[in-house]
Amino acid sequence: MTSPTWNNPVVKWIEYRLPVFSFTQDHLIDYPTPKNLNYWWNFGSLAGITLTIMIVTGIVLAMHYTPHVDYAFESVERIMRDVNYGWLIRYVHMNGGSMFFAVVYIHIFRGLYYGSYKAPREMLWIIGIIILLTMMATAFLGYVLPWGQMSFWAATVITNMFSAFPLIGEPIVTWLWGGFSVDNPTLNRFFSLHYLLPFVIFALVFLHLWALHVHHSNNPLGIDTKGPQDTIPFHPYYTIKDLFGLGVFMLVFLGFVFFAPNFFVEPDNYIKANPMQTPTHIVPEWYLTPFYAILRAITFDIWFIPAKLIGVIAMFGSVLILVLVPWLDTSKVRSARYRPIYKQVYWFFLIDCIVLGWVGFNSPDAMFMGAVSFLRIGQVATAYYFLHLLVVLPVLGKLERPRSPPESISAAVTKDSDTVTEAA
Amino acid sequence: MGKFVLGAVLALTLGAGTAFAEVPKPAAQAWSFNGVFGTFDRAALRRGLQVYTEVCAACHSLSLVYYRHLQSVGFSEEEIKTLAREFEVEDGPNDDGEMFTRPAKPTDPFASPFPNAQAARAANAGALPPDLSVMTKARKGGEDYLHAVLVGYRDEVPAGVEVMEGLFFNEYFSGQQIAMPPPLADGAVEYADGTKATVQQMSMDVVTFLAWAAEPTLEDRKRLGIKTLLFLLVLTAMLYALKRKIWSDVH
Ligand code: HEM
């Protein structure tokens, strides 16, 4: 495609030295996009906008926040009470974290359904997983900052995980803490890192989009675009569609902010941190509970490896293993629409992840309906999590007989127009 | 596996020894500030402030709330000054390097009954009366739970329950034995507006006051929320119409 030539002399002068105008034209306006993307493709732009909201509100909060064990809790309450619209800024940032994960999880499960991770989009996918890891670290660090009971004890439990490693474990924990317990030096470095990581995510998103723009978006049919008849320019078609999606998203997001701002928080975090008093049960935020469930599912030593270490490895492994999904899935067909069996195990895997999240909320020895302990449910769900990725995906790709996808997007689109409804 | 079973058995037997009686779920109350349009009942707030200052403030601090904050719920500057003046706070050092006490000013936080946690424990048989500033947000069940605890004392203890020395049976407190003596009794305060000061009434009033203390921006939040969401709803509907129009030529 050819960019228009500009006549304005200032524009021309800049364009010759730094081609921002043609870049914008090529990547945000003319950028050819499959014409059959459904609403699940809105979540990438929503993730980007949420990241921006988090950075902006976070910077304002940092102007009023005091990273000191004696003042952190109080300074947050001052933001809520005395800073102009401080309550709004804080509630947006607080609920924004949950919204960010909700959006990114949907974004990832969209990718899993339509096989967006397959060649040639493996790099795009891998960068996505690194983004997810960085997000988890950022959210954990941020949760410590208000210095409530859950902040303190989550910090203690999670940093203590590293003590599971033989020999180096204890020194690592001391090094992370900057002392011999979670204390002021810990809070200070957590604040510093919580401010840093979102900008790392920003840079990673840039790489993510760079990779996206090399091979362009996948689409619900999971087939390559064959020519201009299959695509439409990004603007105005997807700018307006993304804007409409943003409106719906903001209704949900701000619905929480204004009318149920503490929906996602544990009441214990409104109690100031107290190292002498352990809360009855320590739970992370909902978006980390699946991984917490995996961590706690391992209660048995294997040979000479202690249970705790296996738990830590399983937890980190459960995220890192996603990097291998493009190779674990051996099917050549991208979209689940044309994979009758994958389509079913996909939902089973999704439910498994939700079960893990629910287990992570409950104490392992609590009983579900008096019949089975949450520990046992967590163990079965953890086993299935890895089974799905390590066994079902590779074997299914070999055994399943996929239906044949249509020749091209334009051929399929003129035939049926159910592209939006099916994915739901 | 053997180890696992052993652990489970151990946990069960240990658990049985320390098992607490099941605590009932607090009943939901019809708070004036419930719902999308809810606001703090101003008369209840005034009565609640009176209960707090005359009863609870003997033991509990409210250190995140400042006297001046009361302005946002209709107290006049004069009223606030008068209220604050009733309390002594420590200030200083003065030019001679001495700490001194003076009457509180509207710009001070609510005066605390004890200078530090140790003093508070010493005066309460070893138990610490927690700060009440964000109490309604710091307990599962929020306001309903607070009300349930305040009216949850029972004279006759259920059979088989042994209440420990210095503790009181309370149906809703976790463990059902609380170190706070029953703070409310009929007629404990004499309401300026003539309302009959039953335990039920005082509890509802003081919890309304504490809900305001924990979330003083609740009314601003809901008001702005309604406007913002209505605006967004209209905007989103228009964006949808525009989207339909723009996409009408794509097949
Ligand atoms: C900060 C978080 C993230 C942002 C801001 C972001 C942003 C975006 C955007 C704007 C798109 C293009 C629109 C779309 O296809 O939805 C995209 C595509 C994509 N993202 Fe992300 N993303 C994030 C995290 C992730 C994560 C964690 C993964 C999972 C591994 C991921 C995997 C992908 C894939 C596979 C695509 C290509 C999808 C396709 O075209 O089918 N992204 N991302």
Ramachandran quadrant class, A150 (left: phi over 0; alpha: psi -120 to 50; beta: rest): alpha
What tokens does A188 get? 């200070």
- In angstroms, what separates the C-alpha of A259 from chain B's closest C-alpha? 7
Q: Which residues pair with A232 in a beta bridge?
A: A33
What tokens does A150 get? 């859950």
Helix intervals (H) in A337-373: 340-361
> Among residues B183, B180, B210, B184, which one has the least CA distance to residue B62?
B210
Predicted confidence pLDDT, tens digits, chain A (424 residues):
456 789 999 999 999 999 999 999 999 999 999 999 999 999 999 999 999 999 999 999 999 999 999 999 999 999 999 999 999 999 999 999 999 999 999 999 999 999 999 999 999 999 999 999 999 999 999 999 999 999 999 999 999 999 999 999 999 999 999 999 999 999 999 999 999 999 999 999 999 999 999 999 999 999 999 999 999 999 999 999 999 999 999 999 999 999 999 999 999 999 999 999 999 889 999 999 999 999 999 999 998 999 999 999 999 999 999 999 999 999 999 999 999 999 999 999 999 999 999 999 999 999 999 899 999 999 999 999 999 999 999 999 999 999 999 999 998 866 554 444 444 3
SS3 B109: strand
- Rounded-to-integer distance, Cα A344 and Cα A178, Å: 48
Ligand 1 pocket list (CB less than 6 A): A 41, 43-45, 47-48, 51, 104, 107-108, 111, 114, 116-117, 121, 124-125, 128-129, 131-132, 201, 205, 208, 212, 217-218
| pLDDT of res. B11 | 39
| pLDDT of res. A415 | 59
Q: Are A360 and A283 in contact (CB under 8 A)?
A: yes
> Among residues B69, B139, B236, B141, which one has the least CA distance to residue A252?
B236
Q: Are A147 and A273 in contact (CB under 8 A)?
A: yes
User: Strand A32-34 vs strand A372-373: parallel, antiparallel, or unpaired?
Assistant: unpaired
The amino acid present at B227, given as its one-letter code, is K
> Among residues A412, A413, A50, which one has the least CA distance to residue A245?
A50
- Rounded-to-integer distance, Cα A398 and Cα B167, Å: 68
The kind and range of the H/E element at A373 are strand A372-373
Nearest-CB residue to B139 (from A255, A267, A373): A267
The kind and range of the H/E element at B103 are strand B100-103
Count of beta carbons in the 10 Å neighbourhood of residue A317: 15
Yes or no, beta carbons of B225 and A257 under 8 Å apart: yes
- CB < 8 Å to B236, chain A: 244, 247-248, 250-251
The kind and range of the H/E element at A245 are helix A234-259
| pLDDT of res. B156 | 85
What tokens does A352 get? 């498994």
Q: Is B233 on the interface with A (CB under 8 A)?
A: yes
Q: Are B51 and B168 in contact (CB under 8 A)?
A: no
- In angstroms, what separates the C-alpha of A90 from chain B's closest C-alpha? 12
- Rounded-to-integer distance, Cα B92 and Cα B95, Å: 8
| pLDDT of res. B18 | 39
Token pair 């997807």 in the structure block, residue:
A238
- Rounded-to-integer distance, Cα A418 and Cα A253, Å: 29
Q: Where are the beta strands (DSSP E) in A99-252?
A: 231-233
Q: Are B216 and A224 in contact (CB under 8 A)?
A: no
Side-chain-side CA neighbours of residue A123 (13 Å):
14
What tokens does A10 get? 């200032």
- Rounded-to-integer distance, Cα B184 and Cα B55, Å: 8
Domain boundaries in chain A? 34-423
Nearest-CB residue to B232 (from A77, A250, A299): A250
Q: Looking at residue B146, what DSSP letter applies?
A: H
What tokens does A28 get? 């945000």
What's domain A34-423's superfamily in CATH? Cytochrome Bc1 Complex; Chain C (1.20.810.10)
> Among residues A294, A275, A313, which one has the least CA distance to residue A352?
A294
Q: Are B143 and B132 in contact (CB under 8 A)?
A: no
What is the dihedral sign for C-alpha A324, A329, A333, A337? negative
| pLDDT of res. B83 | 96
- Rounded-to-integer distance, Cα B72 and Cα B219, Å: 10
- Rounded-to-integer distance, Cα B240 and Cα B230, Å: 15
Which residues of A carry out catalysis? 213, 217, 241-242, 285
Q: Are A206 and A51 in contact (CB under 8 A)?
A: no
What is the dihedral sign for C-alpha A37, A40, A44, A46? positive
How big is the CA angle at B66 (ends B65 and B67), to the nearest 5 degrees? 125
SS3 A1: coil
What's the CA-to-centroid distance between A100 and ligand 1, angstroms?
A: 12
Q: Are B222 and A254 in contact (CB under 8 A)?
A: no
Residue spans of chain B under pLDDT 50: 1-20
| pLDDT of res. A173 | 96
pTM value is 0.91
Q: Is B88 on the interface with A (CB under 8 A)?
A: no
- Rounded-to-integer distance, Cα B29 and Cα A115, Å: 50
